[in-house]
């Protein structure tokens, strides 16, 4: 399984002039069945197969994103979020 939608180590920031936090749409490529999405070890969402997971980052700093498949496989990346 592989997380698609952002490069590992990427730096994210909200759009210029926007009050909304940085957002991503991620997919778990190679996943079959239920996928649990964790951000910093906290469950933030659930998808099926490679359907997109949308997340808004309310915290700044390094964020660890984990996709866990129903078969026990997982993928993990880190991104840095700026204000």
| Residue 80 belongs to a domain | no
Hunting for tokens 């099926």 — which residue is that? 48
Residue 9 covered by a domain: no
Q: State the pLDDT at residue 15.
A: 84
Q: How far apart are CA 7 and CA 31, in angstroms?
A: 18
Residue 64 within any structural domain of the chain: no
pLDDT in the model for residue 16: 86
Global pTM?
Answer: 0.91
Report how many domains make up the chain: 1
Q: Where does the chain have alpha helices with state H?
A: none
Alpha-carbon 23 to chain mean position: 9
DSSP E strands in the chain: the ranges are 2-4, 11-12, 23-29, 34-39, 42-48, 53-56, 61-69, 74-81
- Residue range(s) defining the domain that contains residue 43: 23-48
Render pLDDT for 28-67 as a digit per residue (tens, 0 to 9): 999 999 999 999 999 999 999 989 999 999 899 999 999 9
Answer whether residue 13 is part of any domain: no
């Amino acid at each position: 399984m592989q997380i698609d939608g952002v490069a590992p180590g990427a730096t994210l920031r909200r759009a210029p002039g926007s009050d909304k936090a940085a957002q991503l749409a991620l997919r778990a490529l190679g996943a079959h069945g239920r996928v649990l999405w964790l951000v910093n070890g906290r469950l933030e969402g659930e998808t099926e197969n490679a359907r997109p997971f949308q997340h808004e980052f309310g915290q700044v700093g390094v964020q660890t994103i984990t996709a866990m498949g129903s078969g026990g496989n997982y993928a993990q990346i880190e991104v840095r979020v700026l204000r």
